[in-house]
């Protein structure tokens, strides 16, 4: 196991960016509501989780665990009337029909050496039918983020440097509350959304130590996805996300997924100047499980270590998925 030694330049970078660093998710199409609250409940009432082990092989390398629950009230009504939601073409349940409300809860825990972060999101989404196929979704989320710096675990190359005197051997804590807002146009097979995260720039509520002051910024997120059937058994799904803030500037990511029988899939993706991703997954009744391998490139290649990510979802309300249909039910 190699140990990460934080040099002066690297420590300054981490201290300055830890408050607003981007939580990359290789399987980002599965966790749309984390980026845009208007997509809460877009895939139905589900429990989702992922574990991400970054730079595998380094001691104290970044590790992230995420868990969320979403409840679409339209699902509850449909389940009460028919006991199981249907997606077959002849008797298909449409997620675009009528107005509906969805609620979500998400928790993220991220650890990187002496740094740790916990996020809590309480989200709400509503959809309004604009036409037979098109719906407008809007939503918001109340968020809280707690950061902690364990100075006893901080390893630097020059302990006498005054830059680190306030951190070594002590514990720093900060907390911030803010709001996320989002808007999405969607059909059953296409969506295009925009969201602003940390709308108030951390000014709603800040508490704790000052080591992260001045590092909060608004985040702009644009997401899009499209899926289509190529035959009765084979389908294609494309997703992309664009993220921007004043500190880290832009990040662009795309993923292409091939689907067989609405049960098995394989994917390939690219995060501009940072990583290639390759994944596979399967649907087992009401469960979905997937694995993605992420290889760093260019700007992230200096670490020379891959990232592994495992995801799992479960339908809170049973859904019947057709295996042979010109209808793709995966994102």
User: Is residue 326 situated within a structural domain?
Assistant: no
Report the share of the chain in percent with pLDDT over 90: 57
Q: Cα(169)–Cα(15) distance, rounded to whole angstroms?
A: 16
User: Using an 8 Å Cβ cutoff, are 253 and 268 in contact?
Assistant: no
Q: What is residue 95's predicted lDDT score, i.e. its pLDDT?
A: 60
Q: Cα(37)–Cα(194) distance, rounded to whole angstroms?
A: 10
Q: Bridge partners of 229?
A: 235
User: Using an 8 Å Cβ cutoff, are 98 and 128 in contact?
Assistant: no
pTM of this prediction exceeds 0.85 = yes
Residue whose token pair is 């590790």? 63
Comparing 2-6, 21-25, 250-254, 299-303, the range with the smallest average pLDDT is 2-6
User: Is residue 276 situated within a structural domain?
Assistant: yes
Q: Cα(267)–Cα(282) distance, rounded to whole angstroms?
A: 12
Q: Which residue has the higher pLDDT, 48 or 91?
A: 48
Q: Bridge partners of 33?
A: none
Q: Cα(331)–Cα(321) distance, rounded to whole angstroms?
A: 14
Q: What is residue 128's predicted lDDT score, i.e. its pLDDT?
A: 92
Q: What is residue 302's predicted lDDT score, i.e. its pLDDT?
A: 62
User: Is residue 122 situated within a structural domain?
Assistant: yes
210: how many CB neighbours lie within 10 A of its CB?
10
User: Is residue 237 situated within a structural domain?
Assistant: yes
How many domains in the chain? 1
Q: What is residue 301's predicted lDDT score, i.e. its pLDDT?
A: 59
Q: Would you call 247 helix, strand, or coil by DSSP?
A: coil
Q: What is residue 189's predicted lDDT score, i.e. its pLDDT?
A: 94
Q: Cα(59)–Cα(131) distance, rounded to whole angstroms?
A: 53
User: Is residue 176 situated within a structural domain?
Assistant: yes
Burial (CB count <10 Å: 0-12, 13-18, 19+), residue 162 = exposed
Q: Cα(71)–Cα(124) distance, rounded to whole angstroms?
A: 10
Domain that holds residue 295: 2-320
Q: What is residue 300's predicted lDDT score, i.e. its pLDDT?
A: 64
Q: Cα(308)–Cα(27) distance, rounded to whole angstroms?
A: 11
Phi/psi at 183 (5° precision): -145, 135
User: Is residue 166 situated within a structural domain?
Assistant: yes
Q: Cα(103)–Cα(73) distance, rounded to whole angstroms?
A: 8
Q: What is residue 159's predicted lDDT score, i.e. its pLDDT?
A: 67
Comparing 16-20, 162-166, 189-193, 238-242, the range with the smallest average pLDDT is 16-20
- Position 184 confidence tier, pLDDT thresholds 50, 70, 90: very high
Q: What is residue 151's predicted lDDT score, i.e. its pLDDT?
A: 79
Dihedral sign, Cα of residue 207, residue 211, residue 217, residue 219: negative
Most confident of 45-59, 74-88, 204-218: 45-59
Comparing 21-35, 85-99, 169-183, 212-226, the range with the smallest average pLDDT is 85-99
CATH code of the domain covering residue 129: 2.40.160.40
103, pLDDT greater than 90: yes
- Position 96 confidence tier, pLDDT thresholds 50, 70, 90: low
User: Is residue 238 situated within a structural domain?
Assistant: yes
Q: Cα(263)–Cα(284) distance, rounded to whole angstroms?
A: 7
CA 40 from centre of chain: 12
88, pLDDT greater than 90: no
- Classify strands 85-86 and 319-320 as parallel, antiparallel or unpaired: parallel
Q: Would you call 43 helix, strand, or coil by DSSP?
A: coil
User: Is residue 235 situated within a structural domain?
Assistant: yes
Burial (CB count <10 Å: 0-12, 13-18, 19+), residue 314 = middle
Q: Cα(56)–Cα(5) distance, rounded to whole angstroms?
A: 16
């Amino acid at each position: 196991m190699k140990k990460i030694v934080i040099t002066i330049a690297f420590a300054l970078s981490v201290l300055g960016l830890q408050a607003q660093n981007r939580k990359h998710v290789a399987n980002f199409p599965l966790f749309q509501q984390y980026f845009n609250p208007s997509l809460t409940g877009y895939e139905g009432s589900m429990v989702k989780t992922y574990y991400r082990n970054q730079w595998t092989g380094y001691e104290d390398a970044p590790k992230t665990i995420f868990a969320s629950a979403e409840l679409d009230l339209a699902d509850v009504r449909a389940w009460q009337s028919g006991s199981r939601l249907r997606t077959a073409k002849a008797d298909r349940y449409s997620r675009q029909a009528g107005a509906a409300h969805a609620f979500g809860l998400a928790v993220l825990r991220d650890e990187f050496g002496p740094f740790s972060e916990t996020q809590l999101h309480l989200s709400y989404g509503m959809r309004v039918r604009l036409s037979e196929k098109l719906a407008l979704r809007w939503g918001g989320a109340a968020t809280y983020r707690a950061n902690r710096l364990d100075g006893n675990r901080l390893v630097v190359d020059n302990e006498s440097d005054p830059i680190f005197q306030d951190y070594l051997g002590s514990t720093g804590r900060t907390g911030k509350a803010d709001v996320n807002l989002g808007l999405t146009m969607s059909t059953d097979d296409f969506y295009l959304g925009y969201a602003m995260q940390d709308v108030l720039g951390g000014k709603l509520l800040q508490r704790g130590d000052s080591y992260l002051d001045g590092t909060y910024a608004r985040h702009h997120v644009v997401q899009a996805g499209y899926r289509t059937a190529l035959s009765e058994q084979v389908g294609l799904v494309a997703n992309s996300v664009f993220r921007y803030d004043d500190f880290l500037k832009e990040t662009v990511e795309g993923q292409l997924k091939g689907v067989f029988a609405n049960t098995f899939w394989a994917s390939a993706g690219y995060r501009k100047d940072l990583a290639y991703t390759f994944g596979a997954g399967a649907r087992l009744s009401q469960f979905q499980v997937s694995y993605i391998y992420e290889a760093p490139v260019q700007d992230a290649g200096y670490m020379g270590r891959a990232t592994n990510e495992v995801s799992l979802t479960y339908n809170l309300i049973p859904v019947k998925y057709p295996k042979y249909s010109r209808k793709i039910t995966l994102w």
